[in-house]
């Protein structure tokens, strides 16, 4: 179990030395009340494009969102990036189409059950993803216990993985996480032989932090201090963007 400790701001890093992995929501863009309410400013795509060039392609987005969602938010620039979606379950490299991963029929049953259970609560958002279904209760924090209890029951019934996050609980396919996705990328070019560095804000990013540290790299927590496997911290999205620009 992680202990809370004081984490310093990460030092300036040598771009020749690192492979960089970036969470999306809460790291590159601010969180929103609804997942479709996220605002992506025009400068983000340009920044990511410059970083990928500076790093020789050793940059990847590692998100809980699907690749299709990230493409829609970022725009055409996403095609030039390594993109890992659905908590590591799907991956795409520039110029190489993503290998389709079948969506289990059980997710349709989960989505229907979520919608039935919270049909009378307009503050609850059910988000259907390529390989998961998320239940967002940011608009009604009092629903947390009921949301997590229902997710646990449905996961046991359908053999799915429970993924908790900031004011959200998601049921998704098992067998991958952000840590395993980073390990897979680090095993081959252009990432291999460089120090992995992962920036993320949520408990869903802890597997990525732990894997990077185990591989001799670093995890950078974004946001308030909390128990974490990360080794450094940045205060918020603005601090992340400034730190990345300095690379």
CA-only gyration radius of the chain, Å: 18
Distances (CA, A) of 175 to 57, 99, 104, 156, 234: 26, 16, 13, 15, 30
Question: Does the bond joining 220 to the residue before it have cis omega, within 30 degrees of 0?
Answer: no
Q: How far apart are CA 182 and CA 214, in angstroms?
A: 11
- Going by the DSSP 8-state scheme, the letter that residue 94 receives in this structure is T
Three-class SS state of 148: helix
Answer positive or negative: Cα dihedral of 3, 7, 13, 15. positive
**Per annotation, catalytic residue among 23, 25, 177, 205:** 23
For residue 71, indicate whether it is catalytic: no
What region does 35 belong to: left with phi over 0, alpha with psi -120 to 50, or beta?
alpha
- Residues identified as active-site: 23
């Amino acid at each position: 179990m992680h202990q809370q400790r004081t984490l310093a701001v990460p030092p300036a890093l040598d771009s020749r030395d690192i492979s960089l992995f970036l969470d999306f929501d809460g790291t590159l863009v601010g969180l929103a009340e609804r997942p479709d309410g996220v605002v992506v400013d025009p400068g983000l795509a340009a920044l990511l494009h410059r970083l990928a060039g500076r790093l020789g392609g050793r940059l990847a987005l590692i998100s809980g969102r699907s690749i299709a969602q990230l493409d829609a938010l970022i725009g055409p620039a996403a095609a030039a990036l390594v993109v890992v979606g659905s908590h590591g379950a799907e991956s795409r490299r520039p110029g190489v189409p993503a290998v389709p991963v079948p969506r289990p029929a059980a997710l349709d049953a989960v989505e229907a059950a979520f919608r039935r259970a919270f049909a009378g609560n307009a503050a609850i958002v059910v988000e259907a993803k390529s390989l998961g279904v998320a239940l967002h209760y940011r608009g009604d924090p009092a629903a947390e216990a009921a949301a997590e209890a229902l997710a646990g029951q449905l996961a046991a019934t359908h053999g799915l993985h429970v993924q908790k996050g900031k004011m959200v609980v998601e049921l998704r396919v098992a067998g991958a996480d952000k840590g395993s996705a980073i390990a897979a990328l680090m095993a081959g070019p252009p990432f291999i032989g460089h120090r992995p560095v992962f920036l993320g804000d949520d408990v869903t990013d802890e597997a990525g932090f732990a894997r990077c540290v185990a591989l001799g790299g670093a995890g950078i927590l974004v946001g308030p201090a909390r128990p974490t496997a990360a080794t450094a911290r940045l205060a918020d999205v603005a601090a992340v963007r400034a730190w990345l620009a300095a690379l």
